[in-house]
Amino acid sequence: MESNQSSGYIVHTWSGRSYRLPIDRDQFSSLLSYVDEMIALHGCDNTLQHAETWARAHKVAWFKLNRSLRSLGGFCDCEIGLNTVADGEEEPEDW
Ligand SMILES: [Zn+2]
């Protein structure tokens, strides 16, 4: 049984679709910043190897995460951040 993974985090793509990830919001932002950092250091080699490394380090089932990332268009590390829209970070109405 998996604990701490009750609901998952819903991400949205630019085309307006939403996908449920098998990780929570904090894990997703951790994944994004890790992948970002690795791409900055090593570049993207058109695989999801950095995401996979992250998943293993965080004991996240890679086959599930891999499938979710691909379904939202993240076929390599740099596409994960490109294809998802950060939630709740719209400019606040300034009144
Ligand atoms: Zn890439």
Rounded average pLDDT over 44-72 = 97
Q: Are 56 and 66 in contact (CB under 8 A)?
A: no
Cα(81) to ligand 1 centroid in Å equals 10
User: Which residues are near ligand 1, the ion (C-beta closer than 5 Å)?
Assistant: 44, 76, 78
What's the Cα-to-Cα distance from 65 to each of 90, 91, 92, rounded to whole Å? 26, 29, 31
Is the pLDDT assigned to residue 28 strictly greater than 90? Answer: yes
Q: Output the pTM of the full model.
A: 0.82
Cα(91) to ligand 1 centroid in Å equals 28
Alpha helical stretches, state H, 1-95: 25-42, 49-57, 62-71, 77-83
Cα(88) to ligand 1 centroid in Å equals 25
Cα(78) to ligand 1 centroid in Å equals 4
Is the pLDDT assigned to residue 90 strictly greater than 60? Answer: no
